[in-house]
Structure 1
Amino acid sequence: MNSLQKLKVLGESAKYDLCNYADPNFETYASGKMLGVYNSTAPDGRCIPLFKVLMTNKCSNDCKYCVNRSGRKCERFEYTPQELSNLFLNYFNRRYVEGLFLSSGISGDINTSMEKEVEVARILRDYGYDGYIHLKILPGTSYDLIKSAMHLADRVSINMEAATPDGFEELTSTKNYNIDILRRMKWISKLAKRDPAMAPSGQTTQFIIGATDENDEEILGMTKNLYDKLELKRSYFSAFSPLEDTPLEKHDIPHPKRTSRLYQADFLLNSYGFDLDELVFDENGNIDTQIDPKYSFALNNMDLFPTEINEASYDELIRVPGIGKISAKRIITLRKRGKRFEKLEELQELGVAVKRAEPFIKLNKSYQATLGF
């Protein structure tokens, strides 16, 4: 079987690893026009075509949700490092892609499988390719191999899949949560602190949402812990989708808005500096899927509002619904130059969503609106 025939399977199997910034729930493989080409979106909104593929879909792990789990009946293929490197360079030299996102199943020994990923990166760097490489670290990989991967890759990641040891045990019996996942993530963090040139874009992780009974508070508590202690760059949330011929094929799917609300709440923690106890959870520890988490925070903390735009600190401004980080910085900058805001239109010109912000702000001590309930 040739490389392109393998790519039809191994490219499709790679779609479950997420890496999209703009809309992590909407990821596209170039509308099916090019095998393996995956259109990701950078934080600045720029579209980045990546070559996204597995080394192999052979796997010895028994993850109950996974299309490639051991024992599942499906076609199994594997690339050699040279074969995959040649295929990527063909795509790159034709300007089909700008980077590589490489993951793998575990075909036999963990370190042997990881060595093949690392070898692909080494071949590409030796060839002279200096573009983006993201390597997925396999659970249980040795310290030395992780170090080698980080010397070659721009970003590395290891999927947690679950936020708690109990949740993890619900999903697999062949991996250890504390040893194979968390210990490896701590190694990555320590190596990056010692040498910032190693995997300079940092590490990320991914959670499967809805495959276990874990609630949103447990999930977001874990992400907050990872941001604070391991300097994790980003968390991705993959909505559980039942697959035929897996133990969870009849398992319920999560609410369609759940992952979107988790992303919004996670952004408040990771980018806006919110504390976990500022987020609003119901009696079951979940976020209301019908309302934006930032708006929910404001409604549940009306004693903090309305905020006087002409006096509020940056941290106070970014807690106002409708005011983002960029517009808050613009407000602060103009105030330092002597500007006093008197009209909503002035805020709108700075990017404030004034209809959303209006009930929560004052201009020159004057209330702008009240909530209709």
Structure 2
Amino acid sequence: MNALEKLKILGESAKYDLCNYVSPNLETYASGKIPGVYNSTSPDGHCMPLFKVLMTNKCSNDCKYCMNHSNRKFERYEYEPAELSRVFMDYYNKRYVEGLFLSSGVFKDIDSSMEKQVEVARILRDYGYDGYIHLKILPGTSYDLIKRAMSLADRVSVNIEAATPDGFEELTTTKNFKTDILKRMKWISRLSNDKNMAPSGQTTQFIVGAADESDEDILKRTNWLLDKFKIKRSYFSAFTPLENTPLENYESPHPKRTSRLYQADFLLSYYGFSFDELVFDENGNIETEVDPKYSFAMNNMDLFPVEVNEASYDELIRVPGIGMVSAERIITLRKRGLKIGKLEDLKNLGVAVKRAEPFVKLNKSYQSVLSF
């Protein structure tokens, strides 16, 4: 099988690793057009086509949710580093892609599999390629290989998969939560003190709905990872039952569950919310029909409505419909000595006024009957 034929298989297999910074739900695979190309979005809103592929779908791990499960019967392929490097550079020179996202199954042993990914990055840097490279660190990779990977990549990541040791054990018998995952994250965090080592930091990914874990379990872990290891971003991949895997008869999670987890994680990571301010039901889950900031506001009406022309930045970003950008615009306008007099003014500043209306006052005037 030639390199491009392999790409159709190994590129399709890579779709389960998420990397879209702005909204993972918007990440798209250009299947049927250009195999291996995924459209992602950078923090500044720039659309970045990435070459996203597996080195191999051969794997000795038994992750019960995974299409590459060691006991699953299907065709297995692999790239050699030089071969994959040539395909990437061809795509890059044709301007099909702007960066590389590389992962792999574990074939033979962990370090030899990781070594091949690192070798791809080395070859590309030797070619003179100085663009974006994201390398997936395989669970259990040695310290020296992680260090080499970080010296070549812009970003690295280890998939945590589950929030708790018990949940992790539900999913696999071939990996250990504390040693293969958390210990490697700790190494990466320590190495990141050198700004030349993976300067864009590390991320991780959870499989939501495969293990018996609540949203509260998951968000406690994301909050802990942010605090302990400075994880730049946690991704939430909704479990999808796949034929001929041990979990093929399990149900997928509610379609909005991962979206609510992203919103709650943003409140913790960027909006200054404490974990105790998140609202969970009796089962430890977030309500799927409304966003977590709205739930917080409805459960804390003693804090609302806020006077837009007097509220601090931290008070403003707790208002449903007011984000960080629109809050900054409100503060900037006030510094110029200008007051906001009507909802239309807020709308022009980027506020979602239908959501914000019950929770704000303008010049001491209530904007909604729900405010009384």
TM-score grouping bracket, smaller chain normalisation: over 0.9
Q: How far 1:344 sits from its partner (Å)?
A: 1.7
User: 1:330-349 counterparts in 2 under 5 A?
Assistant: 330-349=329-348
Q: What SS class does the counterpart of residue 175 from structure 1 fall into? A: coil
Q: Following the alignment from structure 1 to structure 2, what is the Cα–Cα distance between the partners of residues 308 and 174? A: 55
In structure 1, what residue type is equivalent to 2:169? E
Alpha-carbon offset, residue 83 of structure 1: 0.5
1:115 corresponds in structure 2 to: 115
Tell me the alpha carbon deviations over residues 240-282 of structure 1, each in whole angstroms, 9 at most, x when there is no partner: 0001111000011111111111111111111111111111100
Between the aligned partners of 1:247 and 1:208, the Cα distance in structure 2 is 15
1:11, CA displacement in angstroms? 0.7
**Aligned equivalents of 2:7, 2:15: Cα separation in 1:** 12
User: Do the aligned partners of 2:304 and 2:371 also contact (CA within 8 Å) in 1?
Assistant: no
> Which consecutive unaligned segments of at least 5 residues does structure 2 have?
none
Q: Per-residue deviation at 1:226?
A: 1.0
Q: How many residues align?
A: 372
What corresponds to 2:99 in structure 1?
Answer: 99
Shift of 1:210: 0.4
Which AA in structure 1 matches 2:191? L
User: Which amino acid is 1:94 matched to?
Assistant: K
Which residue number in structure 1 is paired with residue 215 of structure 2? Answer: 216
Question: Residue 207 of structure 1 aligns with which residue?
Answer: 206
Residue aligning to 2:244: 245
1:341 Cα offset (Å): 2.0
Shift in Å, 1:27: 2.5
For 1:161, the aligned partner's letter is E
Equivalent AA in structure 2 for residue 24 of structure 1: P
Equivalents in 2 of 1:271, 1:162: separation in Å? 23
1:263 corresponds to: 262
Please list, as runs of the form range in 1=range in 2, the aligned pairs for 1:59-208 lying within 5 A after superposition. Answer: 59-193=59-193, 195-208=194-207
Give the whole-Å Cα distance in 1 for the aligned partners of 2:242 and 2:321: 39
- Structure 1 letter corresponding to 2:124: L
Alpha-carbon distance in structure 2 between the residues aligned to 1:127 and 1:262:
40
SS in 1 for 2:112: helix
Distance 2:248 2:291 in 1: 31
SS in 2 for 1:371: helix
Secondary structure of 1:100's match?
strand
Looking at structure 1, the residues matched to 340 and 35 of structure 2 have their Cα atoms a distance apart, in angstroms, of: 53
AA paired with 1:285?
G
SS of 1:197 mapped into structure 2: coil
Match of 1:7 in 2: 7
Q: How many Å apart are 1:46 and its aligned residue?
A: 1.9
The structural deviation recorded for 1:288 is 0.3
What's the counterpart of residue 354 of structure 2?
Answer: 355
1: CA distance, partners of 2:164 / 2:369 = 42
Contact residue 305 and residue 371 of structure 2 kept, 8 A: no
- Write out the 4+ residue segments of structure 1 that deviate beyond 6 Å after TM superposition: none
The answer to whether the Cα contact below 8 Å between 1:156 and 1:203 also exists between their aligned partners in 2 is yes
Q: CA RMSD in A?
A: 1.2
Paired residue for 1:19? 19
Question: Any conservation in 2 of the 1:25–1:238 contact (CA below 8 Å)?
Answer: no
Letter in 2 for 1:41: T
Identical-residue share of aligned pairs (%) = 77
Letter in 1 for 2:8: K
Deviations 1:317-365 (A, max 9, x none): 0000111101111111121222222222222211111121111011121
Find the aligned partners of 2:311 and 2:324 in 1 and give their Cα distance.
Answer: 14
1:29 alignment counterpart:
29
What is the TM-score with the length of structure 1 in the denominator? 0.98
Stretches of structure 1 lacking an aligned partner (at least 5 in a row): none
Counterpart amino acid of 1:29? Answer: Y
